Structure 1
Amino acid sequence: MDSAPHRRVLVTVGSTGFDQLVNTVLQHSFHALLLSLGYTHLIVQHGSSNFPAEALTGSSDLRINAFSYKPSLLEDMQSVDLIISHAGSGSILEALRLEKPLIVVINETLMNNHQQELGDALQEQGYLVSCTPTTLFDAIQSNKYRTLKRFPAADPAIFASYLDSKLFV
């Protein structure tokens, strides 16, 4: 029986597809990088992006699981040591609330660059690492995701106070 700790990475593209990100994590050099950092499992939520069955064999040392969609990624997010996510605000907030190291990959093909703005703002505050598919390797190798600040817990009193100030003027 293998007694080495299992370290897991979750990659999520969200409710659509993100071919550039999926293609990046399918590369053998990406698998080698993860293995060199002690990761043993790669879980890929690939949405509508193509994920060839032969990719599941990957490296003999890296276990790869993949799926297109699930009703919730909460259980997967809770079980991993690193999350690599598209820059959707829902996925970002869920990962930050779980206090998981987070690398956000910006989809540069989307219009208005809203993902870039969100990713950059949260990176500047020290909550995540923001990159593109072409700079994902550098983001992982930098190890900056290991020293991120803890995202503040939600405080419903702030929202209630704001509503009170607007409704009961």
Structure 2
Amino acid sequence: MSEIDDISESKSVVFVTVGTTSFDALVRAVDSQEVREALFRKGYTDLVIQMGRGSYIPSKSNGEDGSLSVDYFTFSPSIAEYLKSASLVISHAGSGSIFETLRLRKPLIVVVNEDLMDNHQSELAEELAERNHLFCARPQTLYETISAMDPNSLVPYQPGDATPVAKFINRFLGFVDE
């Protein structure tokens, strides 16, 4: 095992993603001193924030003062590597981000953007939280959610088999089953 492997294994990374939108309330919440301290108390060492189109700029920190190391960026061609290396993901309520994180079996806190009109995303997040696949929060409740969460209490998400639905749609549209 190389020195780089030793370093990466000693890190416990929280990855925050807002997708392609602007969700300054989430970025502001994870940038708050109380949320940073709660994450650090839970054993996380690094916080990486994908801030999208937002205008709020979080504070960077190198973590040398015995606190969380914090970095941010706006966009990346792919967030797959960030998700894979994360110990915890804090995400907006976009279904793509939710299901990609659940597929990787990463602990997930979904933060609902209450500023969106007709927010069907909150229904998805709340349903999956009710089934114990993830934690659901609002920007103003993120600290409490982090403080109370037990990632070991989450139930792994098992994707369903879409074959019966696809066959039904094909029959309905007049296509012949193979």
TM-score of the pair, normalised by structure 1: 0.88
Structure with greater Cα Rg: 2
More off after superposition, 37-46 vs 117-126: 117-126
Aligned partners of 1:31 and 1:58 also within 8 Å: no
Question: 1:41 maps to which residue?
Answer: 46
1:111 Cα deviation from its structure 2 partner: 0.5
2:14 maps to 9
Q: Is the 8 A contact 1:84 1:104 kept in 2?
A: yes
1:30-68: per-residue Cα shift (whole Å, max 9, x none)? 211111110000010001113437x11275331112110
2:34·2:143 contact (CA, 8 Å) conserved in 1?
Answer: no
- Give the corresponding residue for 2:61: 57
Cα distance change of structure 1 residues 158 and 148 upon mapping to structure 2, 3 Å threshold: farther
RMSD: 2.2
Distance 1:146 1:136 in 2: 18
What letter matches 1:103 in structure 2? I
State the distance in 2 between where 1:151 and 1:123 align. Answer: 11
Using structure 2 for the length normalisation, give the TM-score. 0.84
Tell me, yes or no, if the aligned pair for 2:35 and 2:142 is still in contact at 8 Å.
Answer: no
**Counterpart-to-counterpart distance in 1, 2:60 and 2:136:** 27
Distance 1:108 1:57 in 2: 29
| Change in CA separation of 1:58 and 1:112 when aligned onto 2, cut-off 3 Å | farther
Contact 2:15 2:90 in 1 (8 A): yes
Equivalent position to 2:30, from 12, 15, 25 = 25
- Note closer, same or farther for the CA distance 1:101–1:66 as it changes in structure 2 (3 Å cut): same
Per-residue deviation, 1:126: 1.7
Secondary structure of the equivalent of 2:118? Answer: helix
Deviations 1:115-149 (A, max 9, x none): 22111111112211111001111111112443111
CA distance in 2, matches of 1:98, 1:154: 15
Structure-to-structure mapping, 1:107-118, within 5 angstroms: 107-118=113-124
- Over residues 69-114 of structure 1, what are the superposed CA-to-partner deviations in whole Å (9 max), with x where a residue is unaligned? 1121111000001110000111111111111111100000110121
Q: Is the CA contact (8 Å cut-off) linking 1:21 and 1:133 kept in structure 2?
A: yes
Paired letter, 1:11: V
Equivalence for 1:88: 94
Q: Could you tell me which runs of 5 or more consecutive residues in structure 1 were left unpaired when the two chains were aligned.
A: none
How far apart, in 1, do the equivalents of 2:84 and 2:62 lie?
24
**Alignment length (residue pairs):** 168
